[in-house]
Structure 1
Amino acid sequence: MSALSALLHPSWLTLGRERHRPLLGIDMGASAVKVAEIQRSGKGWQLRFADCEPLPPQCIVDGQIKQPERLLQALQALLARHPQHSKTAAFSLSGPAVITKKIQLAALSELELEDQIALEAEEYIPFEIQDVNLDFHILNRQNDSMEILLIACKRELLESHADIIRQAGLQPQVCDLDLLCLINGWQTFIRPNEPTPANSATLLVNLGTTLLNIAVVSANGQPGYIRDHALGSRQLLQELKTRYDYSHEQAEQWLIMAESAPQHQADSAWQTEILPPFLEHLLQQVRQAIQFHKASAPEQTVGNLVLSGGCARLPLLRSLMAERLPIPVSLPNPFVNLTDHTRSGKLPCAPERFLVALGLALRGEQS
């Protein structure tokens, strides 16, 4: 395998009880950089800090860094506010330059598998093989076969993110995928508080500014369907800018206010013209994930849906999704069982935006 095998590794596996080395989780999203650092506290976890810094529009588009100097400034501002931060970091990738594929292979030894994966990748990866980094993880092993999660990303994407972290004075130690961090964070910080019905799967929906991450996690904790989609609040912002002649900042403020302002939520254009096409597109992707799960694991129903991300509080989104699917839809707080080392009890932005960063911070357990 390439260098990615040392840097990028799936993290969804149940965490063990090894000594946790604090690791700064850095989630570089399209609208903000989120960071989180945790430490062991008995059998649970303690929050050292969590913070976020907004990014200008077009700084990161579809997971790719377009304005590296602005991203670096945001990360440096976060580090300056938390001078006791760890000097090693974990970051994650998503978007069209990242490919995941579940494949079936004959049972092989670890050495044989590495050689075979390199051959299989040429069939499944739509990029020049010399331009990508590869990794894999064994999901399931039978006597004569194995199920493999193949992971590939463009080398330039990985290096562009790692370079920002190095320029900020940190050592990038772990690279992961947004989707796998989402699963890891849910397994550790949310699942214990929201037990799913017996023999049922959980649907994770992380809705951001430009990307939608969807994962179906089986009853045994293994990821089934995992996929990124080009869908997020940017489409809604554009509609608000066009309809009301708003600036980008005014449109963003409208969405922020709409989370708690009844007059915004009751806006007739929002209810009848702006939200419905966006919601329909979102539901189309969610239903596709559910259908895929039913086809691959017909004995398991999807028992609940967990929302996260910067757009999870869009007005009417949660209630309409629960009505249209219909399955229970929750918007949990991943910090609810985390004791606060800072004693402040305050977060700079909505808690559901930190699930990927928390999943990254957990990688200190595995590094």
Structure 2
Amino acid sequence: MPSLQILRSKEVLGIDMGSTSVKIVQVSGRNIVRWAYRELDVNLASSDTSPEDRLNAISQVVMEFVAQEKKLPKTASISVSGNSVIVRYVKLPKLTADELKKTIQFEAEPYIPFAIPEVNLSFHILGDLVEDGQPKMETVLVAAKKDLIDQRLGVLTQAKLRPVVIDVDAFTLEGAYDLTHHAAEEAEVALLINIGANVTTMIITENGVSRVVRDVFIAGNSINKSLQRIFDCSFDEAEKLKRKGQILVTPDEKEATLAQDDQDALQISNTIVTVLKDLVAEIQRSLDFYLAQNPDRQVNRILLCGGSANINGISRYFSQELNMNVEVFDPFEGLSGDNLPEPSLRPSFAVAMGLANRREGDT
């Protein structure tokens, strides 16, 4: 689980700076010390909103949280995702970790489509192998643009929090998954899908080791934009339609809706499905890629998280289309604490939970 490590600390705040909400979690062992969910103005998620306005809103939320809470850690973990972040699984000449630290900029250059001086680089060595008679090592390379990182760090600076780790959304999902003991089975392979506002993040984890990571730009706002076009409504109204709507999965559900002559319900379902079909195709591509590389393996579990994991009927729709059981992931499962979030909010906390689980000396 590579990360762009900054400083060392003990217990931390895991802060997920989303496009439509901010999620904050603090954990101690398997106990939830505190959590917070703060919605942003839904229109901030629109593509018309400047990054500066969105960051200012996030900063305000984090500062207010820090001001209101008592006995807070002064350290935080945050994460990045999207087209300013690159994750590559590569085979490099066998080196020690210390040797790779010294040469990472040169080793990474062929695999990173950004100018190396513009990014922060990190790596994690997965294991050794022999290829064409030469000793090599399978390595995860992570590159994140410095301007994106600086923006996120600026939020912490304004809130007077010190950064401990800057992670990648996909790896935080793996951490949240491990925390809830889902990865305990010896031969388990799981696909976690975090459907955010602008980005859907996928990670296939095999016995606790990440094997495939992808970000695709079909997500909750893709649905909102389609609903806006069909219903000629505002972004805010489209968000409400998405939340109250339902995917009609079975013929019986469709017939019942037709019998009630509920044309809006049919149109909402059809619009959501039109977008999700493209997402299903991307999910299938990720599965096919993993299985082509590992023909002796099978994916045992698919879990959905993120804000759009709560669309009515979405897990059943994915189960039908992928011909596999698909569940909604509860990152609070098996954990204790007072006044935990209501079930409908919990899938949104997967990234924050993984961040809160990061600790001093993590790599």
Task: Tell me whether 257-266 or 135-144 shows the greater mean CA deviation.
Answer: 257-266
Does the C-alpha gap of structure 1 residues 265 and 70 become closer, same or farther in structure 2, counting only changes over 3 Å?
Answer: farther
How many Å apart are 1:302 and its aligned residue? 1.1
Matching residue's letter, 1:141? D
Matching residue's letter, 1:104? K
Does the C-alpha gap of structure 1 residues 346 and 223 become closer, same or farther in structure 2, counting only changes over 3 Å?
Answer: closer
C-alpha distance after superposition, 1:66-92 (max 9, x if no partner) = 322212112123334433321100000
* TM-score for the superposition, normalised by structure 2: 0.86
Contact 2:195 2:219 in 1 (8 A): yes
The reply on whether 1:289 has 2:300 as its aligned counterpart is no
Cα distance in 2, alignment partners of residues 66 and 295 from structure 1: 42
Contact 1:258 1:265 in 2 (8 A): no
C-alpha distance after superposition, 1:119-169 (max 9, x if no partner) = 122211111111111111101124722101011111111111001111011
Contact 1:59 1:65 in 2 (8 A): no
Number of the residue aligned with 1:350: 345
Indicate which of 238, 248, 256 corresponds to 2:235: 248
Does the C-alpha gap of structure 1 residues 126 and 345 become closer, same or farther in structure 2, counting only changes over 3 Å?
Answer: closer
Alignment of 1:300-315 (within 5 A): 300-315=297-312
What count of residue pairs does the alignment treat as equivalent?
A: 342
Does the C-alpha gap of structure 1 residues 72 and 46 become closer, same or farther in structure 2, counting only changes over 3 Å?
Answer: same
Contact 1:190 1:333 in 2 (8 A): no
Indicate which of 23, 26, 33 corresponds to 1:34: 23
Cα distance in 1, alignment partners of residues 245 and 40 from structure 2: 21
Number of the residue aligned with 1:215: 203
How many Å apart are 1:8 and its aligned residue? 9.4
Does the C-alpha gap of structure 1 residues 167 and 54 become closer, same or farther in structure 2, counting only changes over 3 Å?
Answer: same
Matched-pair identity in %:
27
Matching residue's letter, 1:38? V
Matching residue's letter, 1:103? V
How many Å apart are 1:324 and its aligned residue? 1.3
Cα distance in 2, alignment partners of residues 60 and 244 from structure 1: 17
Matching residue's letter, 1:298? P
CA RMSD after TM alignment: 2.8
Number of the residue aligned with 2:296: 299
* TM-score for the superposition, normalised by structure 1: 0.85
Task: Tell me whether 233-242 or 346-355 shows the greater mean CA deviation.
Answer: 346-355
Cα distance in 2, alignment partners of residues 151 and 287 from structure 1: 24
The reply on whether 1:191 has 2:182 as its aligned counterpart is yes
Cα distance in 2, alignment partners of residues 239 and 109 from structure 1: 50
Number of the residue aligned with 2:315: 318
Q: What SS does the aligned partner of 2:357 have? A: helix
Q: Flag structure 2 segments of 5+ consecutive residues without an equivalent.
A: none
Indicate which of 146, 151, 166 corresponds to 2:137: 146
Cα distance in 2, alignment partners of residues 313 and 151 from structure 1: 30
Indicate which of 182, 195, 215 corresponds to 1:228: 215
Cα distance in 1, alignment partners of residues 210 and 301 from structure 2: 15
Contact 2:125 2:140 in 1 (8 A): yes
The reply on whether 1:269 has 2:267 as its aligned counterpart is yes
Alignment of 1:97-136 (within 5 A): 97-136=84-123
Cα distance in 2, alignment partners of residues 5 and 356 from structure 1: 16
Contact 1:265 1:316 in 2 (8 A): no
The reply on whether 1:89 has 2:76 as its aligned counterpart is yes
Indicate which of 160, 163, 174 corresponds to 1:172: 163
Cα distance in 1, alignment partners of residues 205 and 171 from structure 2: 10
How many Å apart are 1:279 and its aligned residue? 1.4
How many Å apart are 1:260 and its aligned residue? 11
Matching residue's letter, 1:202? A
Cα distance in 2, alignment partners of residues 234 and 166 from structure 1: 29
Matching residue's letter, 1:163? G
Cα distance in 2, alignment partners of residues 314 and 203 from structure 1: 19
Q: Flag structure 1 segments of 5+ consecutive residues without an equivalent.
A: 10-19
